[in-house]
Amino acid sequence: MAFLNPIMLLGISAVSVPILIHLLNRRKFERIVWAAMRFLRVSVEQNQRRMRIEDLVLLALRCLLLVLLALALARPAIRAASAGEVFGRAKVTAVVAIDNSYSMCATDGVSSRLDKAKKAAEEVLNTIPAGSSCAVLLASDVVRGVIPEPTFDLNLARKAIREVKLSDRGTNVFPAVREALDILARKSSLRKEAYLITDGQLEGWKQIEDVRRAIDAAKREARVHVVFVDAKEDRNLGISDLRVGSGLTPANRPLRFEVQVTNYGTAEARDVRVSLRVDGEPPSDEAVIDSIPAGASKSISLFAKLRTPDYHTATASITPDRLPADDSRTVAVRGVAEVKVLLVDGDPGREPRESEVFFLRNALVPVPPTEAEGFFIKAETVPATELESAKLDRYDAVFLCNVTDFSTTVVDALESYLRRGGGVVIFPGQNTRENLYNEELLNGRSILPAALGEPRGQADRDEKFMTFADRNLEHPIAAIWKDAASGSLSSAHFFRYFPLAPAAQDAAATRPAEAGEPRVVLRYADGTPAVMERAWGAGRVVLFSSTADTAWNDLPAHPGLFVPLVYRTLGAIVQRQDEGLNLRVGDKFSYRLPTDLLGREAVVAGPGEKEGPRESRRIEMVGGAPVLQYDETGLGGPYEVTIAGETPTVIRFATQPNPAESSLAQVTPEQIGVLSNVAHVVNWTPGVSLEGAIEKERVGTELWLTLAVMGLCVAATETVLAHVFSRSK
């Protein structure tokens, strides 16, 4: 037997009160010698014995009443399985956690996994005795309490379960298990039960050892039931990545989008049709992937145009299958009308071709001079001596090519320019004084992502050279060369270059808050950094280790490499402010806006909600700039923001789910065996009753109600006897 409120057992000590009262009020007789009294002596002795017995009976009943009351308040419980048959079913305090993650949208052609999970949850409620309480949680990579604390209104719990909706979030069951056990730990009940209803996708059980330890630590107080709904599937194709392959996104020009399709199934997929559409319009391009082996991914290029210099969404789709969430993927892009670039020439030379920016200018504007006026990139060149007087805010990006050093005025201007969202690209050269660069731009302001070392190699000896590495191309600027069809980076030769030493990580405490972490864009074949970048304020800095002309390398002589590298570098700078337009499902949307929009109301429509209810947010000052923030991003796809005004401003952003959620891998029998040691595991399919399996796991009953009834009976008996005994004898 156990007591749920053992502290109330101290109430048994109250038994001493009626005993003390009895002892203090004992009848005392004074002996008086009186002749007439001896005729009553026999009668008094007989009545005295009877009254003593009556007082003892009342004393015993009063003590028993106090003992029963203390025991009832202490809530004794018998943990024997047969106790429920004798004393009745004990009430249950339950927490039901339902997995509503991305993978729960998979169907068997009739109902989804979530539909099955909701049916299982309702069956759980049907097994709970009347008078029990239940909380309802939603479990994905976060835990949301639909009914965060157990309620005795089980009809409300049923309604909440029926209204559960899918999200596109990932899965991690550990936070849900921990939250359910924490809720039960705060409650006093003989039967505490937690139910986790999920599809058993392996991705959600990465912390299975933490789950096992948490359940094991709480098993004396709570019983955990893990219900796996039927989730067998061996075929699934999904779009695992979609990105702009062109770098820049000018309006009314063909843009290349890279679409990656992954075969998560166990058999080869053939003739996979992929389409691309912009803003919900009919597909602008389609293509077919002949074959994708099981477990492999293949990429394909599709093209589309943005009709206006505005915010747009591009969606890639494949033929729907039984996991619809990954059959399409959306990214947000902003069409630009024009891009203004300032080229700062540190070595103009005597002829145009000798200019430090000659190849760079032609790469940026690769059209005949007669068409340059209508081209969307506007490149302007100034000598390094005029940099101090240049109005940097007129330009989207500034290229510093073989500039010797910088005055304090120029460094201040560059810092302010970056803080407001500008971009700086640095190509060092023969005139570059690396010590001054390191002192002025790295140590003093943390603008450079790396320190420039002593130059290596000899420009006039072309038999010795370094090449770019063709591996570890994870940075967005370099990702295009993962595809061999884009060319080989190793074809470019570098005869002389500055070694780049990434900014020390231990300098994070002393660098300005605007300075982001340095990142490697490209490496040389020996593994050392060749190109690095870092975010700074709302802008970005990209540092090359060699020249922009052919003085130290032959990269500009490879237009198939140089032009896309320059375009993607410029694209990374121009789109720096638009990086927040694409985020992972569940992340907060935080977007910097012009000052004139401060304080205005913004209405947000999520995927498929253009005609439904919308949420509003106010544009507020955050970090010294007007920012729109929105955190209800549990669904993947396009979102549309409309900002009030005479001419409403429309912004589009998109969220993408974690492609790992498309995996069909399930928890292994070995893992289920480990889990079964601490929890009750049920593999459930609709039509199979959960009640029998759950009832077998329930043992014990509480006795407080029985004791309370007994106490009432004792109190009634004491009252009646006290009345009878008080009559005149």
Residue 529 contacts residue 576 (beta carbons within 8 Å) = no
Cα 435 to Cα 139, 403, 406, 440, 498, distances in angstroms:
55, 13, 12, 9, 12
- Give yes or no for residue 35 having a pLDDT over 60: no
Task: Please indicate whether residue 89 or residue 565 has the higher confidence score (pLDDT).
Answer: 565
Average pLDDT rounded to a whole number, residues 295-320:
94
H-helix or E-strand spanning residue 675 = helix 669-676
Q: Give ∠ CA 514-517-523 in degrees, rounded to 5.
A: 140
Listed residue (578, 672, 34, 47) closest to 334, CA to CA:
578
Listed residue (116, 156, 120) closest to 136, CA to CA:
156
- Give the separation between CA 493 and CA 677, rounded to whole angstroms: 62
Average pLDDT rounded to a whole number, residues 584-608:
90
* Mean per-residue pLDDT of the chain: 86
Residues 6+ apart with CB under 8 A from 238: 261, 262, 264, 318, 323, 326, 327, 659, 662
- Predicted local confidence at residue 83, as pLDDT: 44
- Predicted local confidence at residue 703, as pLDDT: 62
- Banded model confidence at residue 39, pLDDT cuts 50, 70, 90: low
pLDDT in tens, 53-67: 777 777 777 787 778
- Give yes or no for residue 209 having a pLDDT over 50: yes
- Predicted local confidence at residue 717, as pLDDT: 81
Average pLDDT rounded to a whole number, residues 312-326:
93
- Banded model confidence at residue 89, pLDDT cuts 50, 70, 90: low
- Give yes or no for residue 86 having a pLDDT over 50: no
Average pLDDT rounded to a whole number, residues 335-351:
91
- Give yes or no for residue 36 having a pLDDT over 60: no
- Predicted local confidence at residue 81, as pLDDT: 44
**How remote is the C-alpha of 347 from its chain's centroid?**
50
Residues 6+ apart with CB under 8 A from 669: none
- Predicted local confidence at residue 225, as pLDDT: 93
- Please, which contacts does 409-417 make with residues 24 or more away whose CB atoms are closer than 8 Å? 411/440, 411/441, 411/444, 411/445, 411/447, 413/388, 414/441, 414/447, 415/445, 415/447, 417/392, 417/393, 417/539
| Residue keyed to tokens 């037997």 | 1
pLDDT in tens, 497-537: 999 999 875 455 567 778 889 999 999 999 999 999 999 98
| Number of helical H runs and strand E runs in the chain | 14, 37
Quick count: other Cβ atoms within 10 Å of Cβ 324?
A: 13
- Give the separation between CA 544 and CA 529, rounded to whole angstroms: 9
Residue 637 contacts residue 595 (beta carbons within 8 Å) = no
Helix axes 704-725, 41-74, angle to 10 degrees: 160
Average pLDDT rounded to a whole number, residues 649-665:
92
CA-derived radius of gyration, the chain:
39
Length of the chain (residues): 729
pTM of the shown model: 0.77
H-helix or E-strand spanning residue 87 = helix 83-87
Residue 243 contacts residue 257 (beta carbons within 8 Å) = yes
- The domains found in the chain, sorted by start residue, are 2-84+704-725 (no CATH), 91-231+666-699 (3.40.50.410), 339-579 (3.40.50.880), 585-662 (2.60.40)
Average pLDDT rounded to a whole number, residues 660-687:
89
